[in-house]
Amino acid sequence: MKNDFRLIKTCEGARAGELITPHGTVPTPAFMPVGSQGTVKALTPEEVKDIGYSMILANTYHLYLRPGIDVAEGLGGLHKMMAWDGAILTDSGGYQVFSLAPLCKISEEGVTFRSHIDGSEHFLTPELAIDYQARLGADIIMVLDVCSAYDDSFEKVQQSMELTHRWAERCRKAHKNQNQALFAIVQGGVFPELRQRSVEFLTALDFDGYALGGLSVGEPKKLTLETVAQTAAQLPGEKPRYLMGVGSPEDIIEGVARGIDIFDSALPTRVARNGALFTREGRRNIRNATFSRMEQPIVADCGCYTCRTFSAAYLQHLFKSGELLAYRLATIHNLYFIHNLMEKIRVAITDGTFSRLREEFWSRYEPTDEQVRVSQKQKWLKSKGRRLDIGISGN
């Protein structure tokens, strides 16, 4: 079965559809749990499937370094290796190269980087990125792009965007497996004129889908949403739209309102392991003393295994004791919360009641403080030693 996308219903900008892949049909809007290294942290593939997910994300950068593309291919490809029979989207690894590697040097040909694991030097080209993803056997693969930092100058962002375009052309030419959909990545930072130019260039190449890259990298939330709205409105309506690296409940509902079909982020699983659980009122820190004697679950009417089985007090005890079960139970809850939100969103779009759902969401939900969010993101990028040496030649 080849990849395809069917738009079923729109409601005031929000879209409900179906993403058809060789490993099943994925209802959209859809959220993909992140399994960068061939696993969604703390859970088995069966548990992820039981929650209701039909597509996950894996990362070429991580899998290239460990266990290696040859090993994954020799084990029958990513689906067989990790025992996942649903759809898989693989990121090309471009963002990880630029954010995790201690030192990167970008040229027209590709990017030279050092492994964040052992410091060994590697070279990645657009052609290799396509070849690696083909050998992993993903259903949807991504072009290799250059991800700009939020504080990069207009000239530097433009330079990176133009190289991304040339690399996209090379990825398009190298792409041979028609059972794999190839998505382009729109860049251009937060500059409207560059985003428009990127959309025009990439849509002329007629990719299977289009992602919005280079966002949620430390810029203010208001600017993110403005850029998403402007960019998504310019993309072809018959192709899926993917907002990369976004996964908080508030960002998902606002992304859907601006016409986004696919989301991914490690945030739900990462904050779960730190004791932050999603509720309809916002995140709650299960470590707080408030929960030490709470006999009810963290969300009283939640249908997830964690809330159906355990009290908030027990979950707090597990975190306080450093028990590994704490991470599993919190992860199950957060992924269930996001999946349940996606289901409600799809029903509301189909019923023509998305605006009402959005209003109800915001009447109760308190998002994480903006300054704290930006500060945490900037600290994370700094902790990864993000250093780029860009020496681009050519047109």
- What is the model's pLDDT at position 1? 57
Q: Which of 91, 152, 251, 261 is catalytic?
A: 91
| pLDDT tens-digit readout, 298-341 | 999 999 999 999 999 999 999 999 999 999 999 999 999 999 99
- What is the model's pLDDT at position 15? 98
The structure tokens listed for 347 are 């029903």
- What is the model's pLDDT at position 353? 98
Domains in the chain with CATH codes: 4-264 (3.20.20.105), 272-365 (no CATH)
- With 70 as the cut, is the pLDDT of residue 102 above it? no
Report the DSSP beta bridge partners of residue 112: 105, 123
The structure tokens listed for 280 are 């309809």
- What is the model's pLDDT at position 382? 57
3-class DSSP assignment, residue 236: coil
- With 80 as the cut, is the pLDDT of residue 365 above it? yes
Q: How confident is the model at residue 390 (pLDDT cuts 50, 70, 90)?
A: very low
What is the spatial distance between Cα 317 and Cα 326, in angstroms, rounded to a whole number?
9
Interval 115-144 mean pLDDT: 96
What is the spatial distance between Cα 23 and Cα 55, in angstroms, rounded to a whole number?
9
Q: Which of 139, 145, 152, 264 is catalytic?
A: 264
- With 50 as the cut, is the pLDDT of residue 386 above it? no
91 in catalytic set: yes
* pTM of full prediction above 0.85: yes
- What is the model's pLDDT at position 38? 97
Higher pLDDT, 342 or 372: 342
118 in catalytic set: no
Whole-number mean pLDDT of the chain?
A: 93
Interval 386-391 mean pLDDT: 40
Find how far residue 270's CA is from the centre of its chain: 13
- With 50 as the cut, is the pLDDT of residue 389 above it? no
Task: Report whether 37 contacts 66 (CB < 8 A).
Answer: yes
Interval 345-350 mean pLDDT: 98
Task: Report whether 281 contacts 366 (CB < 8 A).
Answer: yes
3-class DSSP assignment, residue 235: coil
Q: Among 12-26, 88-102, 141-155, 249-263, where is mean pLDDT lowest?
A: 88-102
| pLDDT tens-digit readout, 210-219 | 999 999 888 9
Interval 132-140 mean pLDDT: 98
Task: Report whether 381 contacts 99 (CB < 8 A).
Answer: yes
Task: Report whether 79 contacts 35 (CB < 8 A).
Answer: no
Among residues 289, 309, 288, the alpha carbon closest in space to that of 297 is found at 309
The structure tokens listed for 302 are 């939640």
- With 60 as the cut, is the pLDDT of residue 392 above it? no
Would you call the peptide bond into 67 cis, given omega within 30 degrees of 0 as the criterion?
A: yes
- What is the model's pLDDT at position 174? 98
Position of tokens 């450093």?
A: 322
Task: Report whether 40 contacts 33 (CB < 8 A).
Answer: yes
What's the half-sphere exposure (Cβ side, CA atoms, 13 Å) at 71? Answer: 11
Give me the phi and psi of 232, to 5 degrees please.
-60, -35
Cβ neighbours for 95, distance < 8 A, ≥ 6 positions apart: 147, 213, 244, 245
Would you call the peptide bond into 29 cis, given omega within 30 degrees of 0 as the criterion?
A: yes
| pLDDT tens-digit readout, 193-235 | 999 999 999 999 999 999 999 998 889 999 999 999 999 999 9
